[in-house]
Structure formats: C-alpha cells, structure tokens
C-alpha cells in the first residue's frame, strides 16, 4: 500500500543527500522504493535543484491541500445534481457543465457513480441511454477462436530447430473476420528476416 513520506523521512533524505549517500542506500534507510525517492526529489526540490527538507514538506502539504480525490463532495451539491437529473432529464455531462457555470463543481463521473449505486433504478431511468451502455461490470465474452485440428505445439519442435542455424522458419497466420482475408508471415529465425 502507498504511504506518503513524513517530515521525518524528508529530513532523513536531506541529511543523507548532504553526505552524498547513493540513492539506492537512501531509499533503503528511509524505507521507501527508489522510484518514490526519485519522485520526491524531483517534485520537491527548489528551482535551483537543491533538496531542502522543510521546503519539500511545505510543497508536499500545499499539493495535498489542492487535491480533491479524497475530499467528500458537499451533499447539497450532490442533491442538486441528482435533482437536475430527475427533473430536467439532463445528462451527467450537461449537469456538470451547468453547475460549474454556477460555481458549484461536480464531475460527471461522480454523478454516474451515484446513478450506478442507486439500486432502485430510478436515477438510471432518467438517463437518455438508461445506463445500458454501462462499461462497468461488462460480462466476459467467449471467444470464437477454434484450434487448428492436429496441430503440433511450438514446445514439441525438434531440439535442432533452436533458431541458431540458418533455414529454420517460423510461420504465423491471421484470418480476418468471418474468414474473409488472411495474412501469413514467414520469419527466418536466425536472421529475423
């Protein structure tokens, strides 16, 4: 699970960078991955490229304030959006744009989430497409591909056909929809031609 770095970890990173400790070792000491450390240094360094832990902490906290991912939406805004859906039969995209013009931000995806969560189906009934094009929870389709009768597996080819000698060919076939059209590729394995 992902955890954001603490101010203590940032001060540790700062001290270890001052000692010119290799980044791999810094990541191990601080207890984070090398990619997390790399992102931390690139995101939170000063304009001159210096990593100062107090400035890094301030930048991280400022970014956290701006993110809206975990912020719950005001129930009044959600109620107003769902009311527009029921009364006006507008699409979630139209509702989102209309409310934004009035200074009340709500994403169309949040409206769709509420529609999907409504077990009564009342909200879905007010959507023009009745949520029948719902991409979420689409059932898996069975394939129509049939195996070639009497085929020999690639794992059963002779040991000398290891692709090191010239003259060993590999073939693949792609057949178009409803058997119309086909493409055959032939590759000489030692040269990949």
Instruction: Please give the DSSP secondary-structure letter assigned to residue 138.
Output: P
What is the distance between the terminal CA atoms of the chain, rounded to a whole angstrom?
46
Residue 22: band (very low, low, confident or very high) from pLDDT cuts 50, 70, 90: very high
**Predicted pLDDT at 121:** 84
Element (H, E) at 64: helix 53-66
The C-alpha atoms of residue 30 and residue 165 are separated, in whole angstroms, by 51
Residue 134: band (very low, low, confident or very high) from pLDDT cuts 50, 70, 90: low
How confident is the model over 103-128, as a mean pLDDT? 86
The C-alpha atoms of residue 177 and residue 134 are separated, in whole angstroms, by 26
Domain coordinates in residue numbering, the chain: 7-66, 75-125, 142-193
The C-alpha atoms of residue 164 and residue 155 are separated, in whole angstroms, by 16
pLDDT over threshold 80, residue 66? no
pLDDT over threshold 70, residue 180? yes
**Predicted pLDDT at 163:** 77
pTM of the model: 0.38
Enumerate long-range contacts of 47-55, CB under 8 Å, 24 or more apart: 51/13, 51/14, 51/17, 52/14, 53/7, 53/10, 53/11, 53/13, 53/14
Residue-averaged pLDDT of the chain: 83
Enumerate long-range contacts of 160-163, CB under 8 Å, 24 or more apart: 161/189, 163/189, 163/190
Question: Which of these ranges, 31-35, 55-59, 62-66, 166-170, has the smallest mean pLDDT?
Answer: 62-66
How confident is the model over 14-23, as a mean pLDDT? 92
**Predicted pLDDT at 133:** 59
């Amino acid at each position: 699970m992902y955890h954001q770095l603490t101010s203590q970890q940032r001060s540790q990173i700062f001290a270890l960078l001052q000692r010119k400790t290799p980044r791999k070792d810094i990541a191990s000491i601080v207890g984070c991955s090398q990619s997390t450390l790399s992102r931390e240094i690139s995101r939170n360094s000063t304009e001159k490229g210096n990593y100062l832990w107090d400035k890094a902490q301030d930048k991280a906290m400022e970014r956290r304030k701006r993110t809206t991912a975990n912020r719950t939406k005001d129930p009044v805004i959600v109620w107003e959006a769902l009311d527009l859906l029921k009364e006006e039969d507008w699409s979630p995209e139209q509702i989102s744009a209309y409310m934004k013009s009035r200074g009340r931000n709500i994403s169309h995806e949040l409206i769709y989430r509420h529609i999907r969560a409504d077990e009564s189906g009342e909200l879905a009934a007010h959507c023009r497409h009745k949520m029948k094009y719902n991409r979420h929870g689409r059932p898996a389709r069975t394939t129509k591909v049939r195996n070639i009768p009497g085929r020999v597996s690639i794992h059963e080819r002779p040991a000398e056909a290891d692709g090191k000698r010239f003259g060993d060919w590999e073939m693949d076939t792609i057949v178009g929809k409803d058997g119309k059209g086909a493409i055959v590729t032939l590759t000489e394995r030692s040269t990949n031609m």
